[in-house]
Amino acid sequence: MSDKPSLVWLREDLRFDDNPALRAAADRGAPTALLYVLDDETAGEWKLGGAQRWWLHRSLEALQKDVEKFGGALILRRGDAEEQVADVAEKLSAGAVYWNRRYMPWQVEQDKAIKEALSEDYEVESFNGRLLNEPWEISTKSGDPYKVYTPYWKQVQQRDIRDPLPKVQKLDTPGSLPSSDDLEDWDLLPTEPNWAEGFEEVWTPGERGARKRWLDWLKSEGSEKYDEHRNRPDLDDTSKMAPHLHFGEASPITLYREMQEKIEDGEIPEAHGQSYLSELAWRDFSYSLLYHFPRMLDEPLMGKFKEFDWDKDDEAFEAWTKGRTGYPIVDAGMRQLWHEGHMHNRVRMITGSFLVKDLLIDWERGMKWFWDTLVCADPASNTAGWQWVAGCGADASPFFRVFNPVSQGEKFDPDGDYVRRWVPELKDMPTKHIHAPWDAPKDVLKKADVTLGETYPKPIVDHSQRRKEALERYQAIK
Ligand SMILES: Cc1cc2nc3c(=O)[nH]c(=O)nc-3n(C[C@H](O)[C@H](O)[C@H](O)COP(=O)(O)OP(=O)(O)OC[C@H]3O[C@@H](n4cnc5c(N)ncnc54)[C@H](O)[C@@H]3O)c2cc1C
């Protein structure tokens, strides 16, 4: 064993538990430095959005505390990762450089280049710390990537997922350390206005926050009845692990294996537990699509949609982003997104469908808005989610299946509680009319203190007309 220090380049794996790169460093035994590089230049238009920058700041603060507890040293650098990693490795006089893999096309290229450049002077190794199965590990009989989820999931179920690696609890700190940026200087937190106040109420970024959320959720009705509750935004009962998974504060392997144990022990009913495992595998499936079809980041997977005649209605787009479309379930979702940096999955589908099929605005604009505002914004799941909603992706909902925002609201928010929470102007509307206030009799509106067009917007489009229009435009590209 060389006593030259190990350098672990952390990216979307900000944790000590089940972290293969960090584990390799701990097993190597030499003092260890952890490096995080904020590389906006290489990421270009995929640099972290506003909500994620808030998360990253809080997560790195939490990581620093863990480093103080478990040892090692955290070095922060900003700029081109290729230069920064090489510089830190050299100044540290490192013997080994380890990291866990990433899957965006430019990240794959960057990692290859760095590996090649560093391999001459250091031991360099990369690992899977992000997915249950890597994109190349699951394929059809003819060796092609899956484009349909069900057979993909069947294959995942036939494979063993390894046990989580033991948590790294002790690292030695290198004697002399290369310089580090001050996190505060990165200006990741919003100031004027501080739009992230609502985030602080909901989230605790960092590995400990992730663990607590997971254990609390496992004890709650949300996990016991997951498959029943997962479509109900009013119940707010899903695990909310997405941002923790995105930043790698929780390992999908740990969650998967622990859920399997709960099923085996009879603590979580099989159907509900399996449903959760299947959602974790959807995350992998999205990564598999991204890896094999990287063009999906900025073009529809179904080529014919390149010709679709989208509207460029900026006013309607703004009404959508601000939750002022006049459709209560859509507005509730968009306001939840702004306030919490999160939106329930069912409502992501409803708001997405409304943008694409009612406002006839290109899904890419919606995807970019989500990219900036979601704390869990993820290139694979966000792009795959939007292409699914727009009907132009792999295994997508067909374009002609247009969500009706009123009946979706009535079905999935049956008592109107989700709308009342996020659209307080409608809090006194009776349930019968809360999803379509424009149909309510005048005396009902008066009693609820609602004046359409004043206290709450009139619908900005007529759903049935726009549905017809959307289908006509679809015919033109079919
Ligand atoms: C238009 C659109 C955009 C989306 N953008 C993102 C995104 O940027 N980042 C993101 O993580 N998810 C995205 N999703 C998927 C899904 O909405 C979120 O993962 C989920 O709402 C997160 O809440 P949760 O952690 O409580 O989920 P839970 O229901 O508790 O699910 C557990 C985990 O499974 C994974 N998962 C669940 N549903 C999906 C799905 N449909 N696709 C992929 N993984 C899934 C997530 O990692 C999630 O944390 C998007 C979906 C749509 C329709």
Q: Report pLDDT for 396.
A: 80
CB 174 within 8 A of CB 31: yes
Q: CA neighbours within 13 Å on the CB side: how many for 210?
A: 28
Q: Rounded CA gap, 18 and 22, in Å?
A: 9
370 alpha carbon – ligand 1 mean position (Å): 12
CB 253 within 8 A of CB 434: no
E strands in 291-442: none
Here the tokens at position 11 are 């990216």
pLDDT in tens, 277-303: 999 999 999 999 999 999 999 999 999
Going by alpha carbons, the residue nearest to atom 11 of ligand 1 is: 242
Alpha-carbon distances, residue 45 vs 106, 171, 293, 297, 447 (angstroms): 11, 36, 18, 11, 48
Residues enclosing ligand 1, CB less than 6 A?
230, 238-242, 245-246, 279-280, 282-283, 286, 345, 348-349, 352, 370, 374, 376-378, 381-382, 385-386, 389
Note if the bond before 193 is cis, omega within 30 degrees.
yes
CB neighbour class for 98 (10 Å; exposed up to 12, middle 13-18, buried from 19): buried
Q: Report pLDDT for 192.
A: 84
Instruction: Show the low-confidence residues of the chain (pLDDT under 70).
Output: 1
Q: Report pLDDT for 205.
A: 98
97 alpha carbon – ligand 1 mean position (Å): 32
Pocket test for ligand 1, best of 152, 251, 279, 344 (most atoms within 8 A of CB): 279
What's the start-to-end Cα distance of the chain, in Å?
63
Residue corresponding to tokens 């096309």: 105
* Residue 456 dihedral angles phi and psi, to the nearest 5°: -145, 140
450 alpha carbon – ligand 1 mean position (Å): 34
CB 309 within 8 A of CB 473: yes
Task: Annotate 54-81 with b (16+ C-beta within 10 A) or e (fewer).
Answer: bbbbbbbebbbebbeebbbbbbbbeebb
Here the tokens at position 468 are 């017809």
Encoded amino acid at 269, one letter? P
286 alpha carbon – ligand 1 mean position (Å): 10
159 alpha carbon – ligand 1 mean position (Å): 23
Q: Rounded CA gap, 259 and 380, in Å?
A: 23
Maximum Cα–Cα distance across the chain: 81
Q: Which domains does the chain show, CATH number per domain?
A: 6-126 (3.40.50.620), 131-163+206-292 (1.25.40.80), 303-477 (1.10.579.10)
Ligand 1 atom index nearest CA of 374: 8
Q: Report pLDDT for 1.
A: 57
Runs of H (alpha helix) within 401-477: 405-412, 417-422, 431-434, 442-447, 463-477
DSSP 311: B
Q: CA neighbours within 13 Å on the CB side: how many for 457?
A: 17
Q: Rounded CA gap, 414 and 434, in Å?
A: 10
Going by alpha carbons, the residue nearest to atom 17 of ligand 1 is: 345
DSSP string, 187-229: --S--SS-TTHHHHHH---SHHHHHHHHHHHHTSHHHHTHHHH
Task: Annotate 343-366 with b (16+ C-beta within 10 A) or e (fewer).
Answer: bbebbbbbbbbbbbbbbbbbbbbb
- Rounded to 5, what percent of the chain is helix, strand, coil? 55, 5, 40
Q: Rounded CA gap, 17 and 6, in Å?
A: 18
Closest listed residue to residue 57, CA positions, set 229, 238, 194, 220: 194
* Residue 98 dihedral angles phi and psi, to the nearest 5°: -125, 150
Q: Report pLDDT for 397.
A: 83
Ligand 1 atom index nearest CA of 245: 47
CB 289 within 8 A of CB 380: yes
Helix 379-390 × helix 345-353 angle, to 10°: 50
The three-state secondary structure class of 124 is strand
The answer to whether 276 is annotated as binding is yes
Instruction: Give me the interface pTM, i.e. the ipTM.
Output: 0.99
Here the tokens at position 337 are 């997104």
CB 306 within 8 A of CB 300: yes
